[in-house]
Amino acid sequence: MDLPVMPPVRPMLATSVAEIPPGMQYEAKWDGFRAIVFRDGDEVEIGSRTTRPLTRYFPELVEAFRRELPARCVVDGEIVIARDGRLRFEDLLERIHPASSRVRTLAERTPASFVAFDLLALDGTALADLPLSERRAALETALAGAGAPVHVAPASTDIDVARTWFAQYEGAGLDGVVAKPLDAPYAPNERTLFKIKHLRTADCVLAGYREHKSGPIVGSLLLGLHDDDGRLQHVGVCASFPMDRRRELVEELAPLRLDDLAGHPWEAWADESAQASSRLPGAVSRWTGTKNLSWVPLRPERVIEVAYDHMEGTRFRHTAQFRRWRPDREPSDCGYGQLEEPQSYDLAEILR
């Protein structure tokens, strides 16, 4: 491979802001795997956000890139999987599998797509130093003839359009809007972009905590919500506490601490069959590997209000943020019914 921009390259990053800023280029915030694609003839390499190779996990995209992308190019974008008109991040997670046969099966069953939103090189020319407005024009020209599963991300400089996208696109599984300065060059691994995400709150049952990697202090709080059958399902974690607060929480939660899991709603967490059928903490995945996911069980008697951006199925997609304790709420009243459901929106309408 001999390109004017060679791997590895870290993608540009974004800083979270509360409002959509004016005077920029706006795009949807795709919920997938960030990827930079390098193509030099038949040679294709897909690099992740951390520069780790993703090529072997998406054989159907490697074939598509050889067919749909310019012969020599470097393209920044997002790998996504859509099902029933909605992005499915959980299907992407299944792709990170050591068995090639399993990857091939999933590639046929749930094929991935690639949404391109930046062009770093074309033929023998590096474009990273050009302003975004010029790179975007070059991207649209270079991929004008591309077909599915390769798409060019919709973009607009109209802030009212961005506000409409922010309201509508969540129903297709997207999680906000990205604003990009029009005159900015491509800045690898720098937070020169802006992301605006949905933010909601939920009252959850506190059912345990994991210790911090530095020692016996609170690392993250384990959150639960009751389903329609009254079972407490693990929905995610709340973290990002100052170190002093982590130490205080150990003492604060000590009266709720259980010596064992007997009678706890998640007492079956170590059972593999239970892990497959329920949302329980502690499951080791291909992402967590050998990471210690043991946890300290608590009597599920306290309610905590957290902020979250959006759901992935029945779980919070990202780490929730602590807002306050809710002594006025009963744990039994904390269920999925309180969560806001975004209006459905067909992903095909975005990519068309």
> Which residue bears the tokens 């064992």?
260
For residue 128, the 8-state DSSP code is T
What are residue 206's phi and psi, to 5 degrees?
Answer: -85, 120
Per residue, the 3-state secondary structure of 30-99, as one string, reads: CCCEEEEEEEECCEEEEEECCCCECHHHCHHHHHHHHHHCCCEEEEEEEEECEECCEECHHHHHHHCCCC
Closest CA to 93 of 73, 74, 79: 79
Q: 41 near 73, Cβ under 8 Å? A: no
Quote helix, strand, coil % in the chain, to nearest 5: 25, 35, 40
| DSSP-assigned states of every residue in 137-202 | HHHHHHTTT--TTEEEPPEES-HHHHHHHHHHGGGGT---EEEE-TTPPP-TT-EEEEEE---EEE
Q: Which residues are CB-contacts of 311 (< 8 A; sequence separation ≥ 6)?
A: 317, 339
Closest CA to 220 of 162, 303, 145, 281: 281
What are residue 118's phi and psi, to 5 degrees?
Answer: -160, 155
Q: Within its chain, how far is the Cα of 144 from the centroid? A: 28
Any catalytic annotation for residue 29? yes
Exposure class string for 59-96: b at 16+ Cβ within 10 A, else e: bbbbebbeebbbebbbbbbbbbbbeeebbbbebbebbe
Q: Which residues are CB-contacts of 242 (< 8 A; sequence separation ≥ 6)?
A: none
For residue 335, the 8-state DSSP code is B
- Catalytically active residues, by annotation: 29
